[in-house]
Amino acid sequence: MRERIRKVYLALVGLGIMAGLYPLAGALLDGRASDISIGDQMILGIYFPIGVCLLLVSRNPAPHRSLIVAVGWSFVAHTGVMVVQAVQAHTLPAQAMGLILFGLVGLGLLAASPRPVSAEA
């Protein structure tokens, strides 16, 4: 049951990240008229292949533990940077829900990572 939940969670996170392709494509088509910042477009472009990888890894997570952990920590680190920036810009209340959600996804990935396989096993 735990393995099934892990696979579903990884697939859902992968699909969720890949959904960022829709606003990215619109922003790229709109060019300078887009209301999505260049930095956000870059992040969407970086996260899309990560979403593809998570979707592929969801079929057999155990051998890909390091990828899952790396993506989880990248989400946590990204959240930390965004919290500091939101505090500095005095926009934390407006961004709090998104930051909490993003951080929880990262922590969920860390929790969903398979246990390391010992050399004795």
* Per-residue confidence in pLDDT tens, the chain, 121 aa: 889 999 999 999 999 999 999 999 999 989 889 998 898 899 999 999 999 999 999 999 999 999 999 999 999 999 999 999 999 999 999 999 999 999 999 999 999 998 877 655 5
Model pTM score: 0.84
Q: Which domain holds residue 98?
A: 2-112
Distance between CA atoms of residues 30 and 92, nearest Å: 28
* Token pair 């996804």 in the structure block, residue: 105
Distance between CA atoms of residues 119 and 106, nearest Å: 27
Would 118 be classed as within a structural domain?
Answer: no
The tally of domains found in the chain comes to: 1
Would 82 be classed as within a structural domain?
Answer: yes
Would 117 be classed as within a structural domain?
Answer: no
List, in order, residues 6 or more apart from 4 with CB less than 8 Å away.
none
Distance between CA atoms of residues 84 and 89, nearest Å: 9
